[in-house]
Structure 1
Amino acid sequence: MRLAHAADIHLGRRQYGLKQRETDAGLSFQHFLSQAHEQDTDAILIPGDLFDSRDIRPQTLQKAEELLEDVQQPVIVSPGNHEENMSRRRDLTWLEYLNNKGLLTLLSADLSGDRATFAPTDAADPRQGGGGYVDLERDDELIRCFGLQYRGAYIERDLPNVAEGIQAVNHSEGEPDKTILLAHFGVDDAVPDLGANVARAALTDIEDLIDYIALGHIHKRFESGRMARNPGSLEAFDIQEGRWDDSHGYYIYETDSGAAEHHLSKRRPYHTLNFDVSGYRTFEDLRADFETELENARPEVEEVCKREIHLDGRGNRREPIVNVRFEGTLLLDHTTFDVEVLTGLAEEELDALYVQPTNHTERKAVQELLGDLERDEAFNPDGTVNTDALQERVFTTIAGESRYSAEAEAVAETLDQVEGLVNEDEQSVGEIADYLRQRRRELFPEGPGARDEQGEADGAANGVNSE
C-alpha cells in the first residue's frame, strides 16, 4: 500500500491576525490532498493538529468538511494538543464530530487502565466517538493503524503500556503485514531544542512492534531511527519556521518496501532581512540607508517568491512574509528609532503581505555596562538582554563604586537578595532593613557603617540609662 502522511495542518490559524493566513492553511491542506490523490495513495495519515484550536470558527469547520468530502481514500487522524485538553475533556470534539459524519476515522488509546487498550473500528463505518485502531486491506495486504492522542509529559510513562496494548491486539486479532502508530510528540535526539517530549531510548518498547511511526507536533521535519518520521507542518507559522526552507511537507510511505519519501508542501514564502543600526546618529541617515538596503534585497526576495512551492495554484507570485532583524549598537534615542516607519517602508518596497520586525539592537549604555561579558552570557538566544546578567553587573558596579567596595562581590549578592525580597517575597520595609543590618554586621564588623551603628546603639543605651 501507499500511504500519505502529513501533520500539523492547523486549519483556522490566523497568524498575525491575518485572515489570509487562515486561508493559506486551508490552501496548503487542499494541495496536500490533491497530491495524495495524484500519487494514488490508499489512505491518509494525520497524527494531530488538523485544527488550530478546540474553538474553531464556523467557516473553518465548513472548509474542513468541504475538503474531506472530496477525499476518496480513508483519512485516519489522531488528536493533537491543539484539539484536546488533557485535563478538561469535552463531551464532543470537532474531530469526533467529523468522525461521526464519516469524513475521517479518529483513533485514540484508552489509557484509563494499567495497559493501554485499543477498540476496533472500521474506516468505512467508524464507531461513534472514534476507536483505537483500524485495519486497512488491499490486495491481500493487511495494514493495522493504531492511534495515540497527545499526552504531553505523560508520554514516556505511557509508551510501555501502549506497547502492551498493541501487542495484545495483534495477539488476539492476528498479526498484520505492517503495523503503524499515529502519535503526537517529538524525539529529543532529532529536535533537542524544539520541545521534544520523548527521549530516544523511550521508543525501545515499541520499536519491535511497529513498522512506521507517523509523528506530528514538531513543525520541522525530522527522522529518528528506522521508523519514526515527522513531516513538518504544511505551512510555516512563525519567523523561525519560515527559515526551515526544506522542512515542511509530507511523506509518501510504501508499505511493501518500507521506504518513506519526503515531499515539500506548498506554502507562503518567508524572507529574513538583517540591518545593522550601528553608527547612525540621526534617524534620517538610518532611514536613507535602510531604503537602499531594501532596494538591494528586492532581487533576492523575488527569487524566493519564484520557487515552485511558494507560487499559488495558478503559478502566480504570493506576497511574502518578511522578517526585518535590526542588529548592532543603537546610538539613537529609542523615541527617535521609529520601527513602525521602517516596517512600512519594507512592506511597500518588498510588496510583502506582512513585515515582522525583531529588535536585536543593543543600547550603547547597556553594552558599556555589560562590558567584557561573553555574548552568550549577556544576551538570550533571541537577542534580548539577559536581565539577570545585567542586574548582576549593575549591582556589582554600584557596590564597587560605593564605600563598601572592599566586599563588592558580597555586597552585590546582598543587593540581588534584597531585590528578591522586595519583588518576589514582598517582605516589609522593616524586615528588609533588619536583613541589611545583619549583612552589614557580617561583612563589615569593623568597617564602613559599623561606627554609625555602634553610635546608634550607644545612644539607645544612654537613653535607657537616663530614664
Structure 2
Amino acid sequence: MSQSGDGTRFVHFSDAHVGHRQYGVKKRRDDMYMTFRSTILDAIDEGVDFAVFSGDLFHNKDVNARALSDAENGLEEFAKEDIPVVGIQGNHDANLYKEDLNWLEYLHSRGRMILLEADLQGEGPVFEEHDFDEPGISSGYVDIDGVRIFGLQYLGQRTGDYLEDVAEAIEKVNEEEGEPEMTILLGHFGIEDHVPGMAGGISFNQLEPVEEVVDYLGLGHLHKQYSHGEWVFNPGSLESHDTREARWDHGYYIVDSNEDGFEPGFYQSKRRPFFRIEFVVDNCNTPEEFEEEFEQELDEVLPDLRSKQQAEYYKAGDGVRDPVIDLHLQGLLQFSRSQLDVDWVRDLVEKKTDALYVNISDATESKETADILQELDEGEDEVRNEDGQIDRDKLESAVFRKLAGQDSRFRDQEEEVAETMTVVKSSVLADESPESVAETIKNRRRELFPEMGGDDE
C-alpha cells in the first residue's frame, strides 16, 4: 500500500544492465543482479504502488540463461507484492537477430513487465491501451491509480524526429480517454549538455512539445543522474560501468504524486565502490625509486579509500565491499619502459587495498616519446585520446606521416605513404616472407607513383 496518503507512490529506475560481466570478472556480473534486486526491495519497503523502468534491463543483446533468470528473479519480488512494473526497450535490449519475441516481449507476455512502445508503422505514432486480459507482446500506454504512462522505445538518432508527433499522439489519447491525474512518458535517450563530451543528445527545443502534454519525463540511457526543470528526471544506471561513471551519482527516484502535483526524491543505489589513484612518475629516476615512492603513495591514500567504503550504499549488509581500483600512471618515465613492472604494481595494489579488480591506465611517456611529441607538426593533441593518454597507433601514424613529408618525392601523398609504412610494419610483425613484403611495397609504389619507373628500382 502507498505510504503517501491519498496519492500514489512509484519508483523510477533504469539501466540495470543485468548480465554485465565487467572486466570479465564474475563478481561484477553478480553485482549487477545485487544492485537490481536491492533497488527493488528498497522500493517495496518504501511502499510503492507501481514501478517504471526506462530501458536497458539487460546488458548484452544475446541474453543468456543466467541473465534472464536474474531479471525474472528480481521482477518476481514486485510480483509477490502485486506491484506492476512498466518498462521500455533500451538500446541494449534489442535482440541481435529479430525472432518471434525479444526478451522484453517475453517478459511482457509472461506478466513480469508491461512493455510499452509506440506503434510507428503508420503515418504517425500510435499508442494502444494495455489490455490486462490479452496483453499481446507490448502495449502503448497503461493507466495505473490515476496515472497514465506512455512508453517510447529506443530510436537512436531518429528520436528527435518523432517527439513532436509523440506529443500529439499523447494529447489525442488524453482528449479521447479523459485527462489523468498525472501523465508520464518513459524514454531512452539523453539530453544535450548533461554529460561533457557527449554529442547527439536531444535539444531543449525538441522537448518543448512534450513538455506541453507530459508531467513527468522518465529517462534512461545516460548513466549519470540528472534532472531538468521540474519535469525531466534521469536516475542514472544502478551500477558504474566504467571508471568515468564511478564519479557520478547512480540510483533511483521515489516519487509521491497526488492531485496537487508530485514530489521526487533521489536515492543512491547500493553498489560496489570505485576508487581512483593517480601517481606521477616524474621524480622516479630508477625502477627502485618508483617502487618505493609508489608504495608510499598507496599507504597515504588508503585512509581515504577506507573512509569511502563506509558509505551505506557501498556496503553489503554490515560489511564493506572490496573496491575496484582505477589506477592512473602518468608523467615522464626517467628509465626504460621495459623496466616498468606493471604486474608488480597490480599485485601490490591488490594486496594493500583488497581490490576486487585493478584497472591500470598507463599514460606515462618515455623520454623518446616526449622528444617525438615535440617534433610533431600538429602538436601532441593529435595523438592523444579523449582521456589525454598517448594513443600508440595515432603516434605511429603521425611519425610515419612526418617521415614521409620530409622526403620531397612523397610530400604530396604523405598520408598514403604513411599508410603503406603501417601495412609493411604489420606484415613484418606477422612474419610474412621478405618476398611478400617486397611485393607489397612494389604494388603500393605502382599505385601511388607510377611515374617512378620499373619494378626493379
TM-score past 0.5 threshold: yes
Q: Does 1:24 align with 2:27?
A: no
Structure 1 gaps of 5+ residues are: 405-409, 438-452, 457-467
Greater shift in the superposed pair: 376-385 or 289-298:
376-385
Q: Is the 8 A contact 2:404 2:418 kept in 1?
A: no
Q: Distance in 2 between matches of 1:38 and 1:261?
A: 15
Superposed counterparts of 1:420-439, under 5 Å: 420=419, 428-434=444-450
The SS at the match of 1:110 is coil
1:260-295, Cα deviation, whole Å (9 max, x unpaired)? 221111110010111112243432321222122222
Q: Distance in 2 between matches of 1:306 and 1:150?
A: 37
Determine which structure has more spread, i.e. the larger CA radius of gyration. 1
Q: Is the 8 A contact 1:306 1:317 kept in 2?
A: yes
Residue 163 (structure 1) aligns with: 167
Q: Does 1:59 align with 2:75?
A: no
Q: Distance in 2 between matches of 1:200 and 1:349?
A: 47
RMSD across aligned C-alpha pairs, in angstroms?
2.6
Q: Relative to 1, partners in 2 of residues 1:432 and 1:59: Cα closer, same or farther, differing over 3 Å?
A: closer
Equivalences, count: 421
Q: Distance in 2 between matches of 1:370 and 1:59?
A: 48
Q: Is the 8 A contact 1:115 1:164 kept in 2?
A: no
Residue 115 (structure 1) aligns with: 124
Structure 2 gaps of 5+ residues are: 1-7, 424-439
Residue 310 (structure 1) aligns with: 314
Q: Is the 8 A contact 2:129 2:141 kept in 1?
A: yes
Q: Is the 8 A contact 2:373 2:380 kept in 1?
A: no
1:156-179, Cα deviation, whole Å (9 max, x unpaired)? 112122122212222221221211
Residue 357 (structure 1) aligns with: 360
Residue 379 (structure 1) aligns with: 384
Superposed counterparts of 1:68-107, under 5 Å: 68-71=75-78, 72=81, 73-85=83-95, 88-107=97-116
The SS at the match of 1:335 is helix
* Correspondent of 2:155 among 140, 148, 151: 151
The SS at the match of 2:319 is coil
Residue 254 (structure 1) aligns with: 256
Q: Relative to 1, partners in 2 of residues 1:46 and 1:125: Cα closer, same or farther, differing over 3 Å?
A: farther
1:332-366, Cα deviation, whole Å (9 max, x unpaired)? 32322121221111011111111000011122112
* Correspondent of 2:138 among 118, 130, 134: 130
Which amino acid is the alignment partner of residue 103 of structure 1? R
Query: Identity of aligned pairs, percent?
Result: 34
* Correspondent of 2:337 among 334, 341, 349: 334
Q: Does 1:343 align with 2:340?
A: no
Q: Relative to 1, partners in 2 of residues 1:378 and 1:11: Cα closer, same or farther, differing over 3 Å?
A: closer
Q: Distance in 1 between matches of 2:395 and 2:323?
A: 37
1:69-110, Cα deviation, whole Å (9 max, x unpaired)? 22121111101111115x953311221222112121111111
1:129-166, Cα deviation, whole Å (9 max, x unpaired)? 021100012xxxx2100011111111111212212221
1:181-226, Cα deviation, whole Å (9 max, x unpaired)? 0110001132252355322221122110111110001101122333
Q: Relative to 1, partners in 2 of residues 1:172 and 1:103: Cα closer, same or farther, differing over 3 Å?
A: same
Report the alpha carbon displacement of residue 414 of structure 1 after superposing the two structures with TM.
4.0
* Correspondent of 1:367 among 351, 367, 370: 370
Q: Distance in 1 between matches of 2:166 and 2:347?
A: 52
Q: Distance in 2 between matches of 1:270 and 1:329?
A: 26
1:387-413, Cα deviation, whole Å (9 max, x unpaired)? 65775566557756x7x6xxxxx9756
Q: Relative to 1, partners in 2 of residues 1:22 and 1:195: Cα closer, same or farther, differing over 3 Å?
A: farther
Q: Is the 8 A contact 1:7 1:233 kept in 2?
A: yes
Q: Relative to 1, partners in 2 of residues 1:381 and 1:170: Cα closer, same or farther, differing over 3 Å?
A: same
Q: Relative to 1, partners in 2 of residues 1:422 and 1:105: Cα closer, same or farther, differing over 3 Å?
A: same
Residue 299 (structure 2) aligns with: 295
Which amino acid is the alignment partner of residue 384 of structure 1? Q
Residue 8 (structure 1) aligns with: 15
Q: Distance in 2 between matches of 1:375 and 1:399?
A: 17
In the superposition, the TM-score normalised over structure 2's length comes to 0.85
